Structure 1
């Protein structure tokens, strides 16, 4: 009766490998063992080699984590990223900006996102207090006493769709939209810029 290794592997991998080694000990042949189990000789040879080197412990799955990570961000820099996230509540873009501005450390937004994703597992994010002037600015007597300025990256392919996104990128249209919202009468002013810079906010101010 033939034994199919792949069927046993789905149930209990280590137990299947032990039985594979037992079959090899009885036949003393990689070719015969592979034929009985309906698998390749390379697979049998792999587990026989592991068993000879490490015993039954070698039949367990090994970690796929690399032994060396030469491009890994140093721990002290990751700590600074986490400190900004915890104390200031910044997202990846602001962390990248202020790390470069204050520490001279240049990290991409994707790198910061991966650091936050890896190190804040199981931790709740500390929420910042959000300032909504529109909730009480209707009581103000003078207009333009309170206002809100927002920015938005309009190069969002998922929202715009492929056709519009291809059009604005081909024409090299401005990427960022700046919006000024007056709190009392709710007047809006908007303009677009090619770069996200503090000058845009000063222009609206």
Structure 2
């Protein structure tokens, strides 16, 4: 996945290489793609030396940071934060350091918000995370336009893609995310009707059971009719012994974990590369879910993988 502010995606860099290799001047290709000549030459050099792997983004983190605050000072900042509950503006003068430096250290250690701390003891807690797997499951539906055979606008270009997308319809990606472990499960369906949602919940519960989450206590959803009024949905909850919970109207942040998963789903699967058919994109979902659950590290979990916390 490319950096969100990058002018060119990996696909765009391949186009750049193809156009230059066809004999066109680098300056002309760079101008029509909206990038500078040095940037174009950079990607060409990487492609010539590393091949396709050279077109993938690299981390901008420096190899060494000699001026970083020492571990001893960082420990003192954290200790004062937990003992005295002071903010960067007040801790800075006490330590003789800029408030901005203190804030960066607190952010690095997860202490930048007092809401993350237990006031009496100063210990770091995570109030937005349930204590054990299965205590709360987030469920939501992501609506995606189907890809016509031969590819849509991402493969054929904007103008050519318009002629192929009429009456293509939509796919509905139903997803369930465990609040504690971030373990995820997704299925693609042609609708979001009550029976579809109920069947998905039953299969999601079976998936979580196979992963060691033997009981689901509560299920959080938005206020769609299927979740509010659907008898099949309520029966599915009853069969699991789970309680249904609805978000506040017009407040998707309440269901934020699965909403954030939907964004990852779009970035790392649905729009990760130009698919030539809807079947091809559908087939790629299983690999993405496996990678997400068993290989992808999560910053919200301190760099852990989902199953390591179950």
Q: TM-score, normalised by structure 2?
A: 0.30
Q: Which of structures 1 and 2 has the larger relative contact order (alpha carbons within 8 angstroms, sep 6+)? A: 2
Q: Which has the higher helix share?
A: 1
Larger Rg: 1
Q: TM-score, normalised by structure 1?
A: 0.42
